Amino acid sequence: MAPSIASVPLAASPLVRDKAGLLSKACRSVGGPQIRRVGTLVGNVVNAMPAADGAVALFALEAEVEVQDASGRRFLPIAEMYAGVGRCTLNPCEQLVTAIRFRPLPDGAGWSFQRLAQRRALILPMLNCAVVARVAEGRFTEARIAVGPVAETPLRATAAEESLRGAPVAPEAIAKAARLAQEAAHPRASAIRGSAEYRRAMVAVLVRRGLEEAGAMAGSR
């Protein structure tokens, strides 16, 4: 019997790969096949871990989360789900997440998902970074940069994003944005996942790689 849509793991969904390759790649890096078969994207968000791969991609996609309780349903910007490390704003006795929505990436948009981890599977990342970029005539018209775990919640590097508006897709502009993202990042020291100094230094590297990849993809379309 052919599998129903509901039984296809999100990471393997052709629809998600087509409309939001960024999310598809992020979800393919979660855990291993067994974890991806049973774990959900909603769980990845409600866990409220700033390193969560799917959630970081959803920040760059500017996703909204549908919350249902006795008073009805409403969509909230994903950032409003977070109250701190491991703390979701949902009231677990009264509220349920019933959907996650985001706009498909616009035609011609480029994206990148960068991840730094001690091994390739079954481990939370030391750092991750999701980038969406739009380019016209060799200049960034829009850049969205989400980074984790560098704050209590997944972080949008807004100063870096602003610096790129109208800037050429060139090493100097990308280096400046990477520096601004690094300045906004305040990772914790972790005995398992690296010192704060190392992780902060690597933020600039991941953001630079992400912008280069997303900028090149957008520029070639």
Rounded Cα distance between 100 and 85, Å, is 21
Nearer Cβ to ligand FAD, position 56 or 177? 56
- C-beta separation of 74 from 104 below 8 A: no
Q: How far is the CB of 115 from ligand FAD (least distance, A)?
A: 9
Q: How far is the CB of 161 from ligand FAD (least distance, A)?
A: 23
**Contact string 76-95 vs ligand FAD (x = CB under 6 A):** --------------x-x---
**Contact string 115-154 vs ligand FAD (x = CB under 6 A):** -------x-x------------------------------
Closest-CA residue to 178 (of 136, 153, 214, 152): 214
Q: Does 46 bind ligand FAD (CB under 6 A)?
A: yes
Q: How far is the CB of 179 from ligand FAD (least distance, A)?
A: 27
Q: Does 44 bind ligand FAD (CB under 6 A)?
A: yes
- At 220 the three-state DSSP class reads coil
Determine the size of the site formed for ligand FAD (CB under 6 A).
Answer: 20
Angle in degrees, CA 9, 16, 92, rounded to 5: 60
177-206 core/surface letters (b: 16 or more CB in 10 A; e: else): bbbbbbebbebeeeeebbeeeebbebbbeb
Residue nearest to ligand FAD (CB): 43
- C-beta separation of 157 from 184 below 8 A: yes
| Residues near ligand FAD, by CB under 6 A | 29-31, 35, 39-40, 42-44, 46-47, 52-54, 90, 92, 96-97, 122, 124
